[in-house]
Amino acid sequence: MHEETGNDKPLVLAGQEIKRGQWRAVKIPIGHMVTHQQVELIVHVRRGRKPGPRLLVTAAVHGDEINGVQVVRRLLKLSLKRLSGDLILIPVVNLPAFLGRSRYLPDRRDLNRLFPGSESGSMGARLARVLTDEILIHCTHGIDLHTGAANRPNLPQVRYSPDFPEAGKMAKAFGAPVMIESSVREGSFRDVFCQRGKPQIIFEGGEAGILEPASIQLAFKGVLSTMRYLGMLPRLKNSPEKALPVLCNSTWWERAPKGGLFLPGAHLGSVVSRGDLLGEVVDPFGKETTPVRASRSGVIIGRAKNAVVDEGDGLVHLGRTSHPHRVMNNLREAEEALDHRLDHPVFDDYLED
Ligand SMILES: [Zn+2]
């Protein structure tokens, strides 16, 4: 099914050849910080014994988006004895931003706008260059794990470019409640994947700075499902038929009609019709209340948690879909899959291979 057999070729990272069947961690130096500390890209490589695709799973491209770090940690604990192809895992891509608990690099740049990067540029540009020329070059497929920004949680969702049918199939296999066709931003990691004709999907779930069990569990299972679709792991026998993700082909924000305090009235994942109440903006100095209503029908895929808002601030992020009723089923199914651990920490020992 997959013509690209990524691991037919030798794999050399940072001058080290990694052979089939080997499991290695490689450190690639990027540059020094103000403290003289070396910034390194820590890359884990698991090479299967059999040929197959070479999948790159990355997390913390934005340094404060840490759900994906925990997803990669859990992937690292799997034995993967029956792996076909290679799995390349980078738990923390943007180390300087991760140290600063920040989305951005210390020079306030967004790593996800600096691709393909350059050898003589800023720290972020050098990091982007290594990812492009030394990692991506070896890979056939990618999954990049993100969250919403701080105080802007996202419903678990997968984004992909509609120009890449294979990315659409990966998004479907990943099995998040919602999949969103989204255009590619110039300078993003996905942009260089697209330019090289390689499919990459983006997972978004939860918010920055917080380990959110539901999103972590969903993404962990999503990576394994995608690997099964790619033929990297055997298909599960007798697995129950999974609900298809609901496709959203456009998204929009409902914004604050005026400044004030926002009182939300609908949850992530809620399906709303045009005119439904999403919340209220109230005047902090008086009694005035202004309703915020959905201008179109859709599903709530993200929302702002900050209560103090200026006129025009994004309050509720919605996706347009022709199958709104299926979203609720998918969410129910996702919750069941979570084994009712929604408000618990994510235990490392809760694994499957
Ligand atoms: Zn992000």
Q: 18 CA distance to ligand 1 centroid (A)?
A: 30
Q: How many CB atoms lie within 10 A of CB 10?
A: 10
In the reported structure, the alpha carbon of residue 8 is separated from the centroid of ligand 1 by a whole-number distance in angstroms of: 32
Burial (0-12, 13-18, 19+ Cβ within 10 Å), 329: middle
Q: What is the pLDDT of residue 194?
A: 96
Measured in Å, residue 348 CA sits from the centre of ligand 1 at 24
Tell me the sheet residues that pair with 24. 45
Neighbours of ion ligand 1 (CB under 5 A): 62, 65, 146
pLDDT of residue 331: 73
Q: Is the pLDDT of residue 343 over 50?
A: no
Token duo for residue 151? 């105080």
CA of 231 from ligand 1 middle (Å) equals: 28
Strand partners, 277: 293
Q: What is the pLDDT of residue 337?
A: 53
Q: What is the pTM of this model?
A: 0.92
pLDDT score, position 9: 72
Q: Which amino acid is at 24?
A: R
Domains defined for the chain, CATH in brackets = 6-229 (3.40.630.10), 251-320 (2.40.50.100)
Higher pLDDT, 281 or 350: 281
| Cα dihedral sign, 101-105-110-115 | negative
Ligand 1 mean position, distance from CA 65 (Å)? 6
* Residue listed under structure tokens 């859709």: 298
What torsion, rounded to 10 degrees, do the Cα atoms 14, 99, 148, 165 define? 0
Tens of pLDDT, residues 287-307:
999 999 999 999 999 999 999
Q: Which burial class, exposed, middle or buried, applies to 323 when counting CB atoms under 10 A from its CB (0-12, 13-18, 19+)?
A: middle
11, pLDDT greater than 60: yes
- pLDDT number for residue 175: 92
Q: What is the DSSP string of 105-158?
A: -TTS--GGGSTT--TTS-HHHHHHHHIIIIIGGG-SEEEEEE---TT--EEEEE
Q: In this structure, what are the phi and psi dihedrals at residue 104, rounded to the nearest 5 degrees? A: -105, 160
Kindly give the distance from the C-alpha atom of residue 36 to the centroid of ligand 1, in angstroms, as a whole number. Answer: 27
Ligand 1 center from residue 352 Cα (angstroms): 27
| Percent of residues in the chain assigned helix, strand, coil, to nearest 5 | 25, 30, 45
- Distance from residue 82's CA to the centre of ligand 1 (Å): 31
Distance 176 CA to ligand 1 centre (A): 17
Cα 147 to averaged position of ligand 1 atoms, centre (Å):
6
Q: Give residue 144 CA to ligand 1 midpoint distance, Å.
A: 9
* Eight-state DSSP code of residue 228: H
Distance (Å) from CA 146 to ligand 1 centroid: 4
42 CA from centroid of ligand 1 (Å): 19
Q: Where are the beta strands (DSSP E) in the chain?
A: 11-13, 16-18, 23-32, 38-47, 50-59, 84-90, 141-146, 154-160, 178-181, 200-206, 246-248, 250-255, 260-264, 271-272, 277-282, 289-293, 298-303, 308-309, 314-320
Residue 148 Cα to ligand 1 middle (Å)? 7
Q: Given a cut of 50, is residue 351 above it in pLDDT?
A: no
CA count, 13 A, side-chain hemisphere, 167: 26
| Residue of 307, 276, 303 lying closest to 291 (CA atoms) | 276
> What pLDDT is attached to residue 350?
46
**Chain centroid offset of residue 104 CA:** 16
| Count of beta carbons in the 10 Å neighbourhood of residue 106 | 16
Structure confidence by residue, pLDDT tens digits, 97-148: 999 999 999 999 999 999 999 999 999 999 999 999 999 999 999 999 999 9
Please give the structure tokens belonging to residue 219. 């993404």
Q: Say whether pLDDT at 5 is over 60.
A: no
- The answer to whether the bond into 116 is cis (omega within 30° of 0) is yes
Selection from 3, 23, 27 nearest residue 13 by Cα: 27
Task: Name the band, by pLDDT with cuts 50, 70 and 90, for residue 341.
Answer: very low
1 CA distance to ligand 1 centroid (A)? 32
Centre of ligand 1 from the C-alpha of residue 290, in Å: 32
Lowest mean pLDDT among 80-84, 98-102, 265-269: 265-269
Pairing of strands 250-255, 50-59: unpaired
Looking at residue 22, its amino acid is: Q
Segment (H or E) for 221: helix 213-229
> Ligand 1 centroid vs 163 CA: distance in angstroms?
21
263-274 as b/e: b if 16+ CB within 10 A: ebbbebbbbbee
The confidence band for 327, taking pLDDT boundaries of 50, 70 and 90, is confident
What's the pLDDT tens digit per position in 205-259?
A: 999 999 998 899 999 999 999 999 999 999 888 776 677 888 998 999 999 999 9
Q: Distance from the CA of 279 to the center of ligand 1, in angstroms? A: 26
Across the chain, what does the average pLDDT equal? 90
Please tell me the predicted confidence (pLDDT) of residue 193.
98
Measured in Å, residue 211 CA sits from the centre of ligand 1 at: 14
Q: What is the pLDDT of residues 25-59, one digit of tens each?
A: 999 999 999 999 999 999 999 999 999 999 999 99
On the question of pLDDT at 344 being above 80, the answer is no
